[in-house]
């Protein structure tokens, strides 16, 4: 990739518009557009300022491989792992409860030997339901802290639209499978299935809110320093 292509890609990876980049650098949007289209080239001083803005060095601008790109990849990989872990744990958890209610309902009346066997299997399944649900809640909590740490310390900026899409997808993956299984359960209600997914979703939304608020405060602080 050429310098102008790298400049454009670095800006996009940081989730910035041309107007935002121009304001931070101290030039016009048309100047940024000219640099990114290849019509003109920035001098060395401006290249250094671009590197500071995008969290990279001259090699990153000249050759395209930068700390910003690596940081963005790390964040997206961590988010994907978090997404898969939470979705899988919640689906398995709901599956344990649905299987217990579907095939091992609580025996009514005096427990026979066969009834005791059914009760024991049911106890193990509901125990697995509670265990995997607890693991999903723990992963959502510690994962939120880890994601916030990555976002606040990374030398890149993920676009708000991408964050919102991720939060929406994770919330849907957490809630929908559990709710659908709950709708087909004749013993437990849907609310019993979605208590933990709602708690997980709330943590994801809180994580996003803290990130957006922190990013806004940091941007405001930088602007005040530039004045």
* pTM of the complete model beyond 0.85: no
CA 176, 181, 184, 189: dihedral to nearest 10 degrees? Answer: -90
Query: Which residues have CB under 8 Å from 33's CB, separation 6+?
Result: 18
DSSP state for residue 153 in the 8-state scheme: H
Count of beta carbons in the 10 Å neighbourhood of residue 144 = 20
pLDDT confidence of residue 109: 67
Separation between Cα atoms, residue 96 and residue 94, nearest integer Å:
5
- CATH architecture observed for domain 3-65: Orthogonal Bundle (1.10)
Query: In the chain, where are the structural domains located?
Result: 3-65, 68-226
Mean pLDDT by 10 residues, the chain (227 residues): 83 84 92 92 89 78 70 88 96 97 83 86 96 96 93 77 92 95 94 96 94 82 56
pLDDT confidence of residue 65: 59
pLDDT confidence of residue 227: 46
């Amino acid at each position: 990739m050429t310098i102008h292509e790298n400049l454009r890609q670095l800006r996009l990876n940081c989730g910035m518009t041309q107007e935002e980049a121009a304001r931070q650098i101290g030039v016009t949007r048309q100047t940024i557009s000219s640099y990114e289209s290849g019509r003109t080239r920035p001098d060395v001083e401006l290249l250094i300022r671009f590197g500071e803005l995008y969290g990279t060095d001259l090699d990153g601008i000249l050759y395209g491989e930068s700390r910003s790109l690596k940081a963005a990849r790390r964040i997206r990989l961590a988010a994907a792992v978090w997404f898969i872990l939470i979705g899988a744990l919640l689906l398995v958890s709901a599956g344990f409860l649905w299987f217990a209610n579907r095939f091992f309902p609580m025996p009514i009346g005096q427990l026979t030997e066969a009834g005791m066997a059914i009760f024991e299997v049911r106890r193990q399944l509901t125990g697995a339901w509670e265990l995997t649900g607890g693991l999903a809640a723990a992963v959502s909590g510690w994962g939120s802290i880890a994601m916030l740490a990555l976002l606040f310390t990374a030398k890149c900026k993920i676009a708000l639209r991408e964050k919102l899409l991720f939060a929406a997808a994770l919330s849907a993956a957490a809630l929908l499978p559990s709710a659908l299984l709950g709708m087909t359960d004749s013993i437990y209600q849907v609310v019993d299935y979605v208590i933990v997914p709602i708690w997980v979703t709330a943590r994801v939304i809180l994580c996003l809110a803290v990130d957006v608020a922190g990013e806004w405060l940091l941007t405001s602080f930088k602007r005040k320093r530039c004045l």
